[in-house]
Amino acid sequence: MNLKPLLEPKTMAVIGVSATNERHPANVIYDKNNHRYPVEVFAVNPKGGRIHNETLYSRINDLPKKTDLAVIAARAEFVPDVVSQCIKAGVKSAAVISGGFTEGGRKDLQDRIVAMAREANFPFIGPNCLGIYSPFHVDTFFLPIERMVKPNIGSVAFISQSGGILVDQMIKFSQQGVGMSKAVSIGNKAFVREIDLLSYLIADSATNVIAFYVEGFAEDEGRDFVLAAERSPKPVIIMKSGKSKAGHLAVASHTASIAGDYASFRAAVTQHNILEAANEHELVSFCEVLSVYQQSIDGRIGIITASGGHGAMAVDTCVADKMSVPELSREVKEKLKDAVSGNVGAIASFNNPVDLTGSATDDDFVACAKIMGASDEIDCIVFLLLPYIPGVTLDIGVRLSQVCKKYKKPIIAYVPHVEKYNMMIDGFELNGIPASSSIEGAVFMAKALMRKRAC
């Protein structure tokens, strides 16, 4: 199945555009793509006419160019005929935005479009979905452009059964500085399913991390997907809902998915070394760190902080996630004490966590980073940075990144994410060090590296 026209279209038809209702989903999709993205877009409505001084085509056959992607936003009962017309016109793929299929009690309509697509080898996503977002290329989400929060271009692809979860995660990715290569809402996933998208994204040069929000699988599908994910040379992250009985029922009413037995799913994921994110917070943290670091770690964490309370919280989170915060040897402790400034050395604690206190400066953090970077007693360093400490400057991220490059040991930072600290955050992230907005998130990043199998 060729998914390139679906995910990287050069030409697109939006079917269902209204000449009178500017708020119609099809109009929103047409307007946000027309003259804003490199994809060439055409509007289609059976009545024809004009829209924004451009042609509103009455038939897909009337388009002046062959179409890679048809975005179908017509009423559910009309969609089988529209799909049939697209296939006959040589359209290469479709995103069926329309709802009202299996999830609304009309399985017959969904079965009809699936049968046609299967016979014609016509890939489509949906129905009951938002479709595709590819930064600076195409956006089939029927959300007004001024209301969308779009992450920067990056290497994380996210596939979601739920359009709402997808949009929320895009907001979180943007807040956390995680760049995306593609975002795909698959809704009822009647034809193109997770395993098809996984195969495509494994070969996609723009994608390094592949994340999924999954509600359920068809019989035996979960096993095939897990086995395919295990073979992936790229990290695969899964966040699943429908874990509880009530969640199971909610999934069934949302996209008519079979949630399945969560205990069995979790056991399969664990057995096959696939990363499962327990919640949205973990998902963002996992995606961010795995888009930066390729190596796995044993989970021996070194913590350097300017606040004892922050250090204690980080230790608790590490232990809860089955990572160790080993006590440092006397030799390493002595090296740390000798390396920092005299006034800090007199009051700091050089156990693990290393608490440099509120008197610490950039030089103290960098000196400790070099010693921990060279030590084989730990395999990942977590910095808990408080930008309001007088001796810490906005240059600390740039300086610590140089240590990371020298010792090739993962470094993770915690920095409060507020506008006045953006220069410090950029100093980390633009130089290849992930910076979390929370202590817990920083530890989650280390957890992802521990659970990541070596590829």
Tell me the pLDDT tens digit for each residue of 28-87: 999 999 988 999 999 999 999 999 889 999 999 999 999 999 999 999 999 999 999 999
Higher pLDDT, 273 or 199: 199
* CATH code linked to domain 301-451: 3.40.50.261
Q: Please give the pLDDT value at position 455.
A: 45
- Say if CB 126 and CB 96 are below 8 A apart: yes
Indicate if the pLDDT at residue 248 is higher than 50. Answer: no
Tokens of 356: 């440099």
- Does residue 192 contact residue 114 with C-beta atoms inside 8 Å? no
- pLDDT over 90 for what percent of the chain? 83
CA distances from 14 to 142, 148, 379 (A): 11, 19, 51
Question: What confidence tier does 221 reach under pLDDT thresholds 50, 70, 90?
Answer: confident
Give residue 321's pLDDT band: very low, low, confident or very high (50, 70, 90). very high
**Is the CATH number of domain 149-291 3.40.50.970?**
no
Per-residue pLDDT of 340-386, as tens digits, reads 999 999 999 999 999 999 999 999 999 999 999 999 999 999 999 99
pLDDT of residue 301: 98
Question: Is domain 1-125 given the CATH code 3.40.50.720 in the classification?
Answer: yes
Query: Which residue would you say has higher pLDDT here, 413 or 420?
Result: 413
Q: Are 45 and 16 in contact (CB under 8 A)?
A: yes
Please check whether residue 368 is in contact with residue 354, taking contact to mean a CB–CB distance below 8 angstroms.
yes
User: Domain limits of the chain?
Assistant: 1-125, 149-291, 301-451
Kindly state the average pLDDT of the residues 252-276: 68
Q: What is the residue-averaged pLDDT of the chain?
A: 92
- Mean pLDDT value of segment 206-233: 91
Q: Do domains 149-291 and 301-451 have the same CATH topology?
A: yes
pLDDT of residue 169: 96
